[in-house]
Chains A and B, each alone.
Chain A
Amino acid sequence: MATVTFNIWRGDHEGGKLEPYNTEISEGMVVLDAVHQIQAEHANDLAVRWNCKAGKCGSCSAEINGRPKLMCMTRMSDMPTDKPVKVEPMKAFPLIKDLVTDVSWNYRVKQKIKKFKPRPPDHEDGTWRMFQADIDRVQEFRKCIECFLCQDVCHVLREHQLHDTFIGPRQMVFNAALEMHPLDTEDRLKNLKEEGGIGFCNITKCCTTVCPESITITDNAIIPLKERVADRFYDPLKKLFRLFKKNEK
């Protein structure tokens, strides 16, 4: 047991400050446990969002010592405790209160992405046949727990606040999951280029580094999408080639 100081951000959109709290840390504790303990002992009204405490729901995103992380998967033993541990809300989204931010923008953006549109069933039993090798990549994208930590760390959103022109890495992953789904027949490339703002991503890979599900966001999702967009809209040779291909059919 040791007493550790936590500097926790308290306040709302009108302002606030880091507030120091001391609490006892016992073996195996994660940051979320410490925050709960502080809430129960010192600050009943300390706002924090969480559901599963198992790294599965993506609710407890915050910035711990400046790093975007899930509070429930950050162990105290991996943290220097000789100085205060700083816990702050995500910065890319408007603050509601204390550690809780308004992430509704992510839901609004997602709603605008064209939905899954399967081809007609190709088997007499009314279903499809798909092979594991063809869905491995999409299954990787579908591991996403919508914690929005990648959105938080992406400089296009965080520093430049371009929420109106760039949908962010999470929604790129979502687009990729749809575009690479073996059954999907929809075309989202024009949307990715225009409303999606895929050109704003300059491949810094910060999003990939923070993803708690280890999704290779940049290499596996964004870059292939960029290539498809480039093929379609910027490569006259390929455009011509596609035309021929079409005629062959």
Chain B
Amino acid sequence: MDRYEKYEHDVLIIGTGGAGLRAAIEASAAGVSVGVVCRSLLGKAHTVMAEGGVAASLANVDERDGWKVHFTDTMRGGQYLNNWRMAELHARESPDRVRELEAWGALFDRTKDGRILQRNFGGHKYPRLAHVGDRTGLEMIRTLQDHGIHQGLSIYQECTITALIKNEDRVIGAFAYDREKGKFKVFQAKSVVLSTGGMGRIYKITSNSWDCTGSGISLAYHAGAELIDMEFVQFHPTGMVWPPSVRGLLITEGVRGEGGVLRNSENSRFMFNDIPDLYRNQTSDNEDEGWRYTQGDREAKRPPELLTRDHVARCIVREVKEGRGSPHGGVFLDIAWIKDKIPNAAAHIKRKLPSMYHQFKELANIDITREPMEVGPTTHYIMGGIRVDADTQMTSINGLFAAGECAAGLHGANRLGGNSLSDLLVFGKRAGEYAAGFARENEMVQVQEHQVEELAAEALAPFEKGPENPFQIQGDLQVMMQDLVGIIRSESGLSKALEGIGKLWERAKNAGSGGNRSYNPGWHTALELKHMLTVAEAIARAAKERQESRGGHYREDYTGKSEAFGQVNITVRKQENGTMNVEQIPIKPIRDDLMQTIQEMK
């Protein structure tokens, strides 16, 4: 048997994005011992990429804002499939969570009277996003990191968890290898928090970073936890499409907010041709009014480019499919045109969108103050994930908690921009608090030697296997998910995808890697395939089950919303025999006072 190191902590936290760090700080404040594991270096998690801001009804810019408005916006955005208790807690608690960051050293942009500045974003009624230029995620993660390292945490960097360890119905630890030497580590803990982030990397075109393979969602699934809302994936309408190496890289919604417009190859503003009835009253039908809206005219209605992310993404796909796309398979996003409207447009654009200017200049050789950008949808966020209790963040397994993008419920069928960073703070804190509470009330259970042996053997298997190249399988999965489980889905496409995933599972059994155990990406990728395939399968199965179109999920064979599906969430769970079980569960009726709040805000 391979040697391994063993560590014991009251609480083990897996992942150091915003959610994991916030959980760690809270658990350690509760006086328990905390171990924190991340498979990248500290401070490099995907959270670092967030741009626009963190949503909280501080009401610093518009005094009419408050938690009730934020709650209502979040429910509407999620098309009422949200866990309403989570939406309530999130709206009530996010202002305190943001102010707390300031007490730990964060420096948000300021209002004229010296308070935290807030900006407008899609779906938020009032200016609500606290931000630092377009690098809010960096500010958040660095603040939590620099505060957290003084809280007595034991931090294990570049250490990957490959499985959770259970005793009967409770999670008691996790199995890991370190990246540097490939040595095994066993973490024994009274409670475990998963904060492993999203899964964008199972698609070919994505804005997500390397870490985002959905591994935490899969770890929970294989331990028997319930997943929910897996069919809801958010495709952001504007990612870069050219050059190929940067395909998917995010272009912030801010470009359209500043007056950027979408055009097809016929130079037509195609978004005017398809305005959903639900939004007709709020959307302008002429170019001039749309322009005035972006310049702060409170009487003007918003241009159709600023309709919801899912709708804009689908319109772009349609233009391309019908042959009106740009040379590299996108459409044109033009901000340069505002030079017809305002003097010194170039300087204005550079000041308002510094990193977008920089990104196109550096990576595509395009000057956005002179030429249009080519853009197309990119895989951005998963609303679904591990099912949790709203108040405690405990999953359906004892002792296992989850928070952040890997957990689900808050966002329903579609997430509003800015609501993720606040989600990390509010529910990261709660997960840390309740995981610490659980640890205090429960005894440590010993991990058994035979459990370790089995997991070690599984982890070493790729060295015995071949000839399949793990990178090749990963690449094939990404292409297939993009084509068949992407923005536009259908019964036949999803069936084909499930068949394809089945074949990839077979190939993955022979995925091998050469070299030794020290910092070996081939080995890591071979081990990661199990997680990527699990999450891909869960998305495809849930998407097949939901025979309607709603939020991030669009079926070309069921283009409308169905009342029946509006009453249910879809859950996914591993059965005794190892197969995936999909089920519809009714949504719990909303509390009367919250229902009333929604009615009042309509």
Please list the residues of chain A having a beta carbon within 8 angstroms of any beta carbon in chain B: 12, 26-30, 33, 39-40, 44-59, 73, 75, 77, 96-98, 100, 102-104, 107, 110-111, 115-116, 118, 121, 126-132, 135, 138-139, 142-143, 145-146, 178, 181, 183-184
Contact = CB atoms under 8 A, between A and B. Distances in A.
Interface stretch (B132-140, B269-277, B341-349): B132-140
Given A45-B520, A128-B102, 9 more contacts: A12-B518, A26-B243, A33-B245, A47-B520, A73-B363, A77-B365, A97-B519, A110-B149, A142-B107
B105 interface: yes
Nearest to A128: B102
A146 B43 CA distance: 8
Interface residues of B, number: 62
Contact of B209 (A29, A46, A51, A77): A51
Nearest to B158: A49
A45 B521 contact: yes
B211 A116 contact: no
Contacts of B515: 44-45
Interface stretch (B44-52, B308-316, B426-434): B44-52
B40 interface: yes
B146 interface: yes
B527 to A, nearest CB: 13
A115 B105 CA distance: 9
5 contacts: A39-B471, A50-B210, A52-B44, A97-B180, A121-B103
Contacts of B359: 54
B28 to A, nearest CB: 14
Contacts of B514: 44-45
A12 B99 CA distance: 46
Contact of B44 (A28, A59, A128): A59
B572 interface: no
B364 interface: yes
A202 B115 CA distance: 39
Contact of A44 (B104, B114, B147, B513): B513
Interface string B17-40: 000000000000000000000001
Contacts of B99: 126-127
Contacts of A102: 180
Contacts of A183: 105
Given A115-B146, A116-B105, A51 B522 contact: no
A107 B359 CA distance: 29
Contacts of B107: 130, 135, 138-139, 142, 181
A184 to B, nearest CB: 8
A101 B146 CA distance: 22
B519 A75 contact: no
B146 A116 contact: yes
Contacts of A132: 109-110
Nearest to B109: A132
A44 B244 contact: no
B471 A44 contact: yes
B590 interface: no
A245 B22 CA distance: 42
Contacts of B522: 39, 44-45
B149 A29 contact: no
B40 A45 contact: no
A212 to B, nearest CB: 10
Contact of B150 (A12, A96, A115): A115
Given A27-B243, A138-B107, A181-B107, A54 B49 contact: yes
A176 B236 CA distance: 37
B115 A127 contact: yes
Interface in B511-570: 513-516, 518-523, 525
A19 B115 CA distance: 55
B242 A53 contact: no
B110 A131 contact: yes
